[in-house]
A and B are shown apart, each in its own frame.
Chain A
Amino acid sequence: MIITETSANGIVIVALEGNLDALSAPKLRGSPPVADPKTTVVLDLEKVGFMDSSGLGAIVGAAREKSDPACGIVLSCMNDKVRRTFETTNAQRLFHIFDDTAAAVDFAATRQIART
Chain B
Amino acid sequence: MKTILAFREEEFAWSHEVFSCVHPLLLPLCNKPFIEFLIDFAILVGSTAVRILCDGGINPIERYCEDGSRWGIALSYGSLHGDDTAETLLGKNRKFCGEERIMIVSGFSFIRYDKRLNYKSLAGSLPEGEWAACPGGSITLSGAPEKPPADGAATPLSLMPLDGMASYYRASMEALETGADRYVLPGYGGEPGCAIGRNVVISKSAQIRKPVSIGNNVQLLGDTIIGPSAIIGSNVIIDRESSVESSIVLDNTYIGEQLEVIGRIASGNRLNDPRSGASISMEDPHLLGSIKKSQTLSALPRKVAHALAALVMISVLAVPFLFLWPLLKLGGRWRSAQIDCHSENPGETISLGKVELDATNALGATASTLSLDRYFRLFRVLTAELALIGSTPLPAEEPHPNAPANALAYRPGVFSYAEAEQWPATGGDAAIVERYHLVHSGPISDIGLVVKAFVNRPHEKSSA
Interface residues of A (CB under 8 A from B): 52-54, 56-57, 60-61, 64, 77, 80, 83-93, 96-100, 102-103, 106-107
Contacts and interface: CB of A to CB of B under 8 A. Distances in A.
Given A56-B432, A57-B433, A107-B91, A90 B423 contact: no
Taking chain A's interface residues, is the majority helix, strand, or loop, or is none over half, making it mixed? helix
B424 interface: yes
B79 A85 contact: no
A43 B56 CA distance: 22
Contacts of A61: 423-424, 429
Contact of B421 (A53, A96, A103, A107): A53
A87 B60 CA distance: 11
Interface of B: 55-59, 62, 77-79, 81, 88, 91-96, 406, 409, 417, 421, 423-424, 426, 429, 431-433, 435-437, 439-440
B59 A99 contact: no
Contacts of B433: 53, 56-57, 89
A103 B432 contact: no
Contact of A99 (B62, B92, B421): B92
Contacts of A99: 78, 92-96
A53 B448 CA distance: 15
Given A54-B421, A87-B58, A97 B78 contact: yes
Contact of B55 (A85, A93, A100): A93
A53 to B, nearest CB: 4
A103 B79 contact: no
B420 to A, nearest CB: 9
B427 to A, nearest CB: 12
23 contacts: A53-B421, A57-B421, A57-B424, A60-B424, A60-B432, A64-B426, A83-B77, A83-B78, A85-B436, A87-B57, A88-B59, A89-B431, A89-B433, A89-B435, A90-B56, A90-B409, A90-B431, A93-B81, A98-B92, A98-B93, A99-B96, A102-B94, A103-B94
